[in-house]
Every structure is written in structure tokens, then in C-alpha cells.
Chain A
């Protein structure tokens, strides 16, 4: 394994751990806004996985569409819900 390949493995492992952690936090968070933000984190990790596997276009479109559009819409909808003040 060359230096580049092992570095790639390390980056992949970190991204995979981040992805699994954020994905679990999406469903276990008590507050719905935190779930939405963790979902955006998961999207970002997926985008970086695409870029890591030399699919930069798919990765950037993933950021563009999922974080820039869908994520904003989810947040916008969540913001219209009520929340306990001081929670």
C-alpha cells in the first residue's frame, strides 16, 4: 500500500465514522432542529465520500442539491414548528 492509498484509507475511515454517527444522531436527537442539522452533516459526509472516489461532480451536486436546496427547505419547514422556550 502506498502512502497515498493509506492516506485515502484514513480519510475514508474518518468519513465513514462521521457518516454513521450523524446518521444515528438524526434519529436519536431529542430536538428536531438538531436532527435536521445532523442530516445536513450526513449529506456533507456523503458528498466528501463521492469526492474521495474521484466523482467530484456528483459530490458537488450533492452539496448543491441536498445541502443547498433540500436541507434549506427542511430547515425552513422545521422553523415553522413550535419549540419550548429555554429548552
Chain B
């Protein structure tokens, strides 16, 4: 019954969109727009979550005036404020570089969206990931695209023609060189064990056995530290340390230009949490329980599981931000090179040994 309906639906789509209904570019475009809108909402939710959780940790109440008891509309008020502010362009900025920088940061965060599966539907034992596109090298793509955002931060720092901003850009690159190698090595360890660069295959590999967080705990810890550094959050936010550098690379930005960069940062955090859930925490899988029932609502369960894990990871990241002080720039570079990198190497050797016996 249900399958007949699905067949009819797909047939209609096929008739409208010509050949190859699922991979048709129009469908992909619409899916991409949906994912983009969803990501905006998710980033706003992340901002709200951060404000509420931070005030909870600091024994405050937090936003509670706009939008009911929990201040749910505070973000819309903030967005309106950012949109209506005057667009101030300082005289001595490096024009095009300064203008392009927030766009590049935002664009790199948006480009990551298309490769991430935000959950999956499971019908008759087949996994249909809820991703805009699926391709064989999605995890490599995510790594490559997220590196573009670093260039955006450099352009913002350099183009501002401001000493603080340049120091921030310099710190950002010095720090990034330190942790990026360890981050890449831990991801490669997972790829070695699963034998695939496709993020969906990596999640599926965790459905039968256990999550990679338990199989390679060392790699998970290194990945977690490097990922928080990648998101640029406390304790690794040396590139915008308010007490030392005013606002780092964002010193000369105001209004919606600042808003774009700020939003890009939160999208980066949201997507980073997604990647951590997908690679190390089993994605949409529940340990010891495979959802393989032909009831449509239970087919939605994996999506709910994925979202729950994602919110938990985000809460953990937020908790770290409000619990730990910022470390110095020389400390993070030395942690990156002298601690994270050797540990990632050890994890790589472990994953090679593990790959020989995988799957058990």
C-alpha cells in the first residue's frame, strides 16, 4: 500500500523532472535551498541555546522579555537590529578584500551543508540519507571546504588595516596550522577503518558494531579538541580574544557585515557538531537496535535520534565555552604540535591494526 503510493509519487516526479528523478538537478537545488533555510533556523536555535545555557551557568535568567517566557523571539529582534544598523565602511580599509571576507566565510559554511546527511529514512532495510547530495568523497569535501573559511578570516584581518585585526589573522593561521593536521589524521583513521570516504558509509559502518568513539577513544578526544579549535570557540578563540584584541578580525565590521560573519561562526559550530555525531557518535544509529520496520513513523526515528545527539553535542560545546578560560596562543600551538599530533599518529597506527580485523 505504502510502496504503491511511493511509486506513484516518484512516477509523478519522474514525469515532471525528466530523467533521473532523485539525482535531477532541480530536486537537488530545491533540497539545497531547504537545507540552507533549515541551517539558518538551526544556527538561530544555536544562538538561543547558547544564550540561555550561558545564563544558566552564570546564575542569570537570560533573554525572557521578547517571545514569551523563554525569550524565543530575541533572535529575531537581534537580527532586525543588525539589518537596520548603518553600514559603516572605514576610510582606510582594503576595499574589495574587506567586503569579500564575510561573504567568503559565510559561503564556506554554506558549502559544507550539501554533503552532510541530517539523518536518514529507513525503508525495508535500505537507508535513504537525508542529504542534499551524496558523493563518494564527501568527508574530504567537507574538510576542503571548511579550510576556505580560514582564508575569509585572513582577508577580514588583513583588509581591516588594523593592528589588532592583523594580529588576530596571524594568530588564526598559526593556530590553524597546528590543529588541522591532527584533525585530518583522526578523520583519516576513521576512513581507514571503514574503507570509504563517503560519510554515509561511515555512519552505516557504525550501525552493526559500535560507535567509533568507543572503538578509538584516543582519536575521539583528539578530534573533539581539534574540532572545538576549528570552530574557534573558547578555550581556543585566540583570534578574537576580546580582552586582548578588542574583537580580533571583527574589529572594523559593523551592522550586517558583522552579522554575516557571526552567523557563519554559528553555522560552523552547528555543522561541526553534526560532523562529530556522524563520524564518531554513530549518526542516526541507536546501539543494539536497528530500526527496520515498515511503519512510516518509526522510519522517522533515526532523524529524531540524530537531532537529539546533535543537540547534546552542541550543549557540550557550549558548556565548555562557559566553563573554561581562554588559553594563550603559544599554548594552543604547542598543544597542537606536541600533544594532538603524536596522539593522532598513535591513533592512526591503532586504526590500521583495527582495519585489519574490521568488521568483527
To the question of whether A and B form a pair in one complex, the answer is yes
> Which residues does A use to contact B, with CB under 8 Å?
33-34, 37, 40, 56-57, 60-61, 63-64, 67-68, 71-73, 75-76, 79, 85-86
Q: Please give me the residue from chain B that is nearest to A64 by CB atom.
A: B144
In the assembled complex, the Cα of A28 lies from the Cα of B321 at a distance in Å of 45
The contact of A63 among B92, B145, B170, B176, by CB within 8 Å, is B145
Main secondary structure of the interface of B (DSSP, over half): helix
In the assembled complex, the Cα of A61 lies from the Cα of B136 at a distance in Å of 13
Pairs A–B under 8 Å by Cβ, sample size 14: A33-B97, A37-B151, A56-B135, A57-B137, A63-B144, A64-B140, A64-B144, A64-B147, A72-B151, A75-B173, A76-B173, A76-B177, A79-B154, A85-B161
User: Known contacts being A61-B140, A63-B144, A64-B140, is A76 close to B174, with CB within 8 Å?
Assistant: yes
Contact with A along B174-195 (1 / 0, CB 8 A): 1011001000000000000000
Instruction: Work out how many contacts link A and B, with CB atoms closer than 8 A.
Output: 59
Q: Please give me the residue from chain B that is nearest to A71 by CB atom.
A: B151
Contact with A along B139-150 (1 / 0, CB 8 A): 011011101101
Question: Which residues of A sit under 8 angstroms from B228, Cβ to Cβ?
Answer: none
Verify if B155 is at the interface (C-beta below 8 Å from A): yes
Are B151 and A67 in contact (CB-based, < 8 A)? Answer: yes
Verify if B169 is at the interface (C-beta below 8 Å from A): yes
Are B177 and A72 in contact (CB-based, < 8 A)? Answer: yes
Are A79 and B140 in contact (CB-based, < 8 A)? Answer: no
> Which residues does B use to contact A, with CB under 8 Å?
92, 97, 135-137, 140-141, 143-145, 147-148, 150-151, 154-155, 158, 161, 166, 169-170, 173-174, 176-177, 180
Q: Please give me the residue from chain A that is nearest to B142 by CB atom.
A: A60
Are B150 and A72 in contact (CB-based, < 8 A)? Answer: yes
Are A68 and B147 in contact (CB-based, < 8 A)? Answer: yes
In the assembled complex, the Cα of A73 lies from the Cα of B170 at a distance in Å of 11
Beyond A60-B137, A86-B92, 13 additional contacts (C-beta under 8 Å) are A33-B158, A37-B97, A37-B151, A60-B140, A63-B144, A64-B143, A67-B147, A67-B148, A68-B143, A68-B150, A72-B150, A76-B174, A79-B173
In the assembled complex, the Cα of A76 lies from the Cα of B151 at a distance in Å of 11
Are A63 and B148 in contact (CB-based, < 8 A)? Answer: yes
Question: Which residues of B sit under 8 angstroms from A72, Cβ to Cβ?
Answer: 147, 150-151, 173, 176-177
In the assembled complex, the Cα of A72 lies from the Cα of B181 at a distance in Å of 13
Ranked nearest first, the 10 interchain pairs of A and B with the lowest CB-CB distance are A68-B147, A64-B144, A63-B144, A76-B173, A60-B144, A60-B141, A86-B92, A60-B140, A75-B154, A57-B137
Question: Which residues of B sit under 8 angstroms from A76, Cβ to Cβ?
Answer: 173-174, 177
Are A79 and B135 in contact (CB-based, < 8 A)? Answer: no
In the assembled complex, the Cα of A35 lies from the Cα of B164 at a distance in Å of 23
Question: Which residues of A sit under 8 angstroms from B155, Cβ to Cβ?
Answer: 37
Are A56 and B137 in contact (CB-based, < 8 A)? Answer: yes
Question: Which residues of A sit under 8 angstroms from B147, Cβ to Cβ?
Answer: 63-64, 67-68, 72
The contact of B161 among A37, A56, A79, A86, by CB within 8 Å, is A86
